Chains A and B, each alone.
Chain A
Amino acid sequence: MALTLEQVRHVATLARLALTPEEEQRFATRLSAVLDAVAQLQALDVEAVEPTSHATLAASLLREDATRPSLPPEKSLANAPAKSGTSFAVPKIIE
């Protein structure tokens, strides 16, 4: 299945990746090749099969709903590329 450049750009937008024109070309080729290879799954009849999202279907383990100490703000912010006081700083999003 050949992916068009337009489809590649659409997927890149969904994935929040700003691809270069060369990357768009390369990904069109490579994604198409991988999608061709996985097309064999279409041959199987899976109508009556239940999907598996996790291999070990352990009962959902819940832990006690108790308050515990969380990371202090200075630790949480230690790796922030930009911060302001006790907050992560981001570019202005409202004009």
Chain B
Amino acid sequence: MQLTDLTMLELAAKLAAGAVSSEEATRACLERIRQVDPKVRAFLRVDEDGALAAARASDARRKAGSPASPLDGVPVGLKDLFLTEGVETTAGSRILEGFVPPLDATVVRLLKEAGLPLVGKLNLDEFAMGSSNESSAYFPSHNPWDVTRTPGGSSGGSAAAVAAREVFGALGTDTGGSIRQPAAFTNTVGLKPTYGRVSRYGVIAYASSLDQPGPMTRTVADAAALLQVIARHDAQDSTSAAVEAPDYSADLEAGVRGLKLGVPRDYFTEGMDPEVEASVRAALAEYERLGATLVDVSLPHTKYALATYYLLAPAEASSNLARYDGIRYGLRARDARGLKELYAQTRERGFGPEVKLRIMLGTYALSAGYYDAYYLRAQKVRTLIREDFTKAFQQVDALLSPTSPVPPFKLGEKVDDPLSMYLMDVYTLPCNLAGLPGLAVPCGFTKAGLPVGLQILGRPFDEARLLRIARAFEREHDFFRRAAPLQGA
């Protein structure tokens, strides 16, 4: 067994026992990246010097008997949507090529304060807009379980790096499923916390009322430990919740006996891959065997969630992306005459096709004459979707569903068909519209050896219960021990 095969908590235990140093663990990650990243292509940038300096500082703290946190010294990666002081941050876009942030995102600061070496910046769909990593302006990332397939998106680089054991864990962001879908595609655990649970300060914005950072790890216990580091009220983010974070690891092993778990019939619909459905149904049966009660529930407005999302998210994006004007940072069209032409040409050259499409869609939905028919109406339907969940959670403790309707698809398969790509988010995005926490946990493999993920949705700020439910399943089926075929490549 290689050092990089350890989970975050297993490594933390070895660090605490003095059996291994953070520098050794970090060097093992760097070596692993050299070996497998030419195939996986998860990293946009590796910060070797920064990571090793942080690792040595961590080792010095250990030696002095004063580790900064339980995860002090455990190397992790960051989606390239998080601002990192002094380290280039591009959001996967040409418009930010060469941008070196003058400050750290709050969560990056928290990771540094907790002593976790940051190995590098991970690939993503441009400005987090996509479900396959193919809209990255740089290159697509590959799924370690089958390199001809996508690792999902938009946090596909984060998922691929964790699955390929290039880092012990990573942070992603989730606007419509961008943590959970890539986790499901790569046999990893992805947690999208309640909106407001984790600070968005210094996280490059896609759709501000939906975006939420969260952990991507190999195990449920790792997700709990990493969430513990970043779940903090932040005065710098006016939407950050002033709610104290509980001890996420405390009840992890409490099981599911006596819990009522809802199965939304609207999530088991036509178009779902039969092997995905079989894996998820088997997981539901497992929960029954473990003592939970399954309850049939209805979320009647589910079928409107996709349309609602694809109006609201682009509308917010068109507003957020107005800041890329070629004046203060990023690309500038050099030959433009006058300010208007400078804006238009800079943005024409800097943004990729999917980003332009969403800016156009959002601008249209917000424009005079269409605002009421599109944007305002979508906001009202959002209320109906939220109310569906509120009603369901009066009956049940959590909801179980597939994460993605299909297993990881081939790179290139859906690139020219945006609508078919948008359908990939059909089970994940209602959770963002309602601001709820959602978790994806490995629940099996297809015959071809492709991962399938179970999605668990919960009440606001109920992450601890989601983790406990996920752990109950993981204890019975330790799929996380299975290594992607890239192993040793």
Contacts and interface: CB of A to CB of B under 8 A. Distances in A.
Interface of A: 3, 8, 11-12, 14-20, 23, 26-27, 30-31, 33-35, 37-42, 44, 46, 49-56, 58, 60-63, 71, 75-76, 78-82, 88, 90-93
B23 to A, nearest CB: 30
A52 B342 contact: no
Contact of A61 (B240, B306, B347): B240
Contact of B348 (A18, A71, A81): A18
Contacts of B100: 78-79
B52 interface: no
A19 B196 CA distance: 37
A41 B377 contact: yes
A56 B327 contact: no
A8 B325 CA distance: 20
B329 A79 contact: yes
23 contacts: A11-B364, A12-B360, A14-B363, A14-B367, A15-B347, A16-B343, A31-B360, A34-B418, A34-B419, A34-B422, A37-B310, A38-B311, A40-B304, A40-B307, A44-B304, A44-B384, A50-B383, A54-B209, A58-B196, A58-B241, A60-B238, A80-B328, A91-B337
B487 interface: no
B284 interface: no
B381 A79 contact: no
A58 to B, nearest CB: 6
B79 interface: no
B195 A55 contact: yes
Contact of A8 (B304, B337, B360): B360
- From A12, A56, A79, name the one whose CB has the most chain B CB atoms within 10 angstroms: A56
A12 B102 CA distance: 32
B204 to A, nearest CB: 13
Contacts of A17: 344, 347-348, 351, 356, 359-360
A92 B432 CA distance: 43
Contacts of A53: 209, 379
A62 B235 CA distance: 8
A59 to B, nearest CB: 9
B432 to A, nearest CB: 8
B386 A55 contact: yes
Contacts of A58: 196, 239, 241-242
Contacts of A78: 100, 102
Contacts of A76: 102, 328
Nearest to B208: A54
A62 to B, nearest CB: 8
Contacts of A54: 195, 209, 239, 435
A11 B360 contact: yes
A38 B374 contact: yes
Contact of A91 (B322, B339, B418): B339
A90 B209 contact: no
B140 interface: no
B241 to A, nearest CB: 6
B336 interface: yes
Q: Which 9 A-B pairs have the closest CB atoms?
A: A55-B435, A51-B379, A81-B332, A79-B329, A18-B344, A46-B380, A38-B307, A75-B102, A18-B348
Contacts of B343: 16
B433 interface: yes
B389 to A, nearest CB: 10
Contact of A16 (B239, B240, B340, B434): B340
Interface in B326-366: 326-332, 336-345, 347-348, 351, 353, 356-357, 359-361, 363-364
A75 B304 CA distance: 45
B342 A91 contact: yes
Contacts of B195: 54-56
Contacts of B210: 55
Contact of B378 (A12, A41, A91, A93): A41
A8 B418 CA distance: 18
Given A38-B307, A51-B382, A15 B360 contact: yes
Contacts of B99: 79
B308 interface: yes
Nearest to A27: B360
- From B351, B367, B460, name the one whose CB has the most chain A CB atoms within 10 angstroms: B367
A2 B10 CA distance: 57
